Amino acid sequence: MRVLTVDLEDWFHQIDVPSVADAAGWHSLEPRIEANTHRLLDLFDEAKVSATFFCLGWVAKTYPRLVREVVSRGHELACHSHLHRPIHALDESTFREDLRTALRYLEDAGSAPIRAYRAPGFSLTPSCLWAVPILVSEGITCDASFFGGRHAHGGFPDLDYQTPFRLRHLGAELVEFPATTMRLGPMTMAPAGGGYFRILPYGIIRHMLISRAYVMSYIHPRDLDPDQPLLGDLSQWRKFKATVGLRGSRSKLARLIREEGWASIGAVLGRIEAENQPIVPL
Ligand SMILES: [Zn+2]
């Protein structure tokens, strides 16, 4: 069970960076999402794999043609919020409003009802599980926001689930597809996406992932773009994380998805029988 997912956002969709906090300024930044998404789509075509694309509502509003192309090339469309704000930065009513806006733009561009969600920056945390009943009430049935361990913007430091489960909170239930993580002392690594995927040599990534019964990946279009601009107000650490390994990531991803069994969330869900997954009350 290897789940291939993309967070469909541009290079400037960064959390906690003052220069890009206001979405009103995004239109003045160099757009790179179309070219980068085409690189991903071509790689997926070559490997004959389908993925789930967690797309920002803002992206569907700004690039409806790109989103239609993602769907027409056989991929599943899912929701990654409207404006890429972490859940814990919102209250219940602004979260619901953001989610509804995103779903409207995504469904307008991609047509089918949206059933899967991933929070920006894996920002589902023990203190914002109130989002679960809201997601369910807006038609979401699957979630991929759970990160077992510490994450810069979220995570569940004391829990570690590495296969799908039914997350139940206040009577609402979602089929949860957790991020693939590994504990290393106080650190939690997520080798199937982002900076860890870019920095680690292919042999190590393969060794970490391929023997597992379940892998959840999270690729960004910018992960394949060595020529992207860099925001001036990123910390040194975040500059490093944003740029490390960009040159080798395309060929690494091409090799990884040539391994058998990669599929979208919808396709995996058809195989695992959600009702047979363990219930985890949180
Ligand atoms: Zn994101």
Mean pLDDT of 191-216: 93
Distance (Å) from CA 14 to ligand 1 centroid: 7
**pLDDT beyond 90 at 48:** yes
> Which residues have CB less than 5 Å away from ligand 1 (the ion)?
7, 9, 120
Q: Which residue has the higher pLDDT, 278 or 165?
A: 165
Q: What would the 3-class secondary structure string for the chain be? A: CEECEEEECCCCCCCCCHHHCCHHHHHHCCCCHHHHHHHHHHHHHHHCCCCEEEECHHHHHHCHHHHHHHHHCCCEEEECCCCCCCHHHCCHHHHHHHHHHHHHHHHHHHCCCCCEECCHHHCCCHHHCCHHHHHHHCCCCEECCCCECCECCECECCCCCCCCEEEEECCEEEEECCCCCEEECCEEECCCEHHHHHHCCHHHHHHHHCCCCCEECEECHHHHCCCCCCCCCCCHHHHHHHHCCCCCHHHHHHHHCCCCCEECHHHHHHHHCHHHCCEEEC
**pTM score, whole prediction:** 0.96
**pLDDT beyond 90 at 276:** no
**pLDDT beyond 90 at 260:** no
Give the model confidence (pLDDT) of 72-117 as tens digits: 999 999 999 999 999 999 999 999 999 999 999 999 998 889 999 9
Q: Distance between alpha carbon 176 and the CA centroid of its chain, in Å?
A: 13
Angstrom distance (rounded) from CA 101 to CA 188: 33
Distance (Å) from CA 171 to ligand 1 centroid: 28
**pLDDT beyond 90 at 272:** no
Mean pLDDT of 141-159: 92
Angstrom distance (rounded) from CA 138 to CA 133: 9
Distance (Å) from CA 80 to ligand 1 centroid: 7
User: How would CATH label the architecture of 2-11+26-281?
Assistant: Alpha-Beta Barrel (3.20)
Cα–Cα distances in Å, from 66 out to 33, 113, 119, 210, 263?
Answer: 9, 18, 21, 31, 21
Mean pLDDT of 204-208: 92
Note whether 143 and 255 are within 8 A (CB): no
Query: Which percentage of the chain shows pLDDT scores above 90?
Result: 86
36: left (phi over 0), alpha (psi -120 to 50) or beta: alpha
Query: Which pLDDT belongs to residue 76?
Result: 97
HSE on the CB side for 33, CA within 13 Å? 25
Distance (Å) from CA 242 to ligand 1 centroid: 13
Largest CA distance in the chain: 49
Angstrom distance (rounded) from CA 83 to CA 154: 17
Distance (Å) from CA 84 to ligand 1 centroid: 6
**pLDDT beyond 90 at 150:** no
Query: Which pLDDT belongs to residue 75?
Result: 98
Query: Which percentage of the chain shows pLDDT scores above 70?
Result: 100
